[in-house]
Amino acid sequence: MHSNQYSVKVFETTVYDESKFIEFFDANYTLFKDYLILIQGELSEKIKEYLIQKRLKYLHNIDLPKGRSRKALEKELKVKEVEVAVSQQIAEAELSKLTNKLQNNLTVLDEMIRSGRELNIDGDLLLLNRVNSGATITTSGNLIITKVVDGSIRCHGNFMMLTASPKANIVFQNVEVDNDLLEDRLNRVELKNGEIIITPVLKKEINWAS
């Protein structure tokens, strides 16, 4: 693919009076001949003909993205930093709570589960790394994975906690979990009264988790 990126000067205006519009651009043609003219509202045939005659480039009733100031960008970055910090606090609290429930022949691993590997765990598993696409983990007990899952998970315990990508294939208690419910989120998946409950660990849960 070949692409180019341009910085374009845009002049946005609304036509209320055809004659005044034409007079304005006639008087300021040298200034605006290299601009993209963005016209909002009605655009008559007379104005179209004038723009074509003057070889002025224009768009009609289009919403262009507005550039953000450095201050606005810095503010957005700070908000994201806070959200990341909050999410990390929630994850640590959730992990601490659920880790205390892991007691059925607990296996702790701190290694990436690479593509092609099949890991079968008899009991509970705490994995402190990611699961690559093409890898499969099967546990007879509960499961916690602290990093992103791209591969396949087969969990037969009462709960699991993970973050799944769109590539993941998650089966909990022999039921395939809708990946849209797990995509790009930290999730708590539990079996309660015979029903699978999926709870995204969100910012609003900070008081519940702490």
- HEC assignment per residue over 144-165: EEEEEECCEEEECCCEEEEEEC
pLDDT at 102: 65
Task: Tell me whether residue 121 is in a domain.
Answer: yes
Distance between CA 157 and CA 174 in Å, rounded? Answer: 10
Task: Tell me whether residue 65 is in a domain.
Answer: no
Q: Are residues 157 and 106 in the same domain?
A: yes
Q: Are residues 145 and 185 in the same domain?
A: yes
Q: Which domain holds residue 19?
A: 10-60
Distance between CA 120 and CA 99 in Å, rounded? Answer: 19
pLDDT tens digits along 23-46: 998 888 888 888 899 998 888 999
Task: Tell me whether residue 77 is in a domain.
Answer: yes
Task: Tell me whether residue 105 is in a domain.
Answer: yes
Task: Tell me whether residue 1 is in a domain.
Answer: no
Domain total in the chain: 2
Is residue 102 within 8 Å of 142, Cβ to Cβ? yes
Task: Tell me whether residue 4 is in a domain.
Answer: no
| Stretch among 91-95, 148-152, 177-181 having the lowest mean pLDDT | 91-95
pLDDT at 131: 94
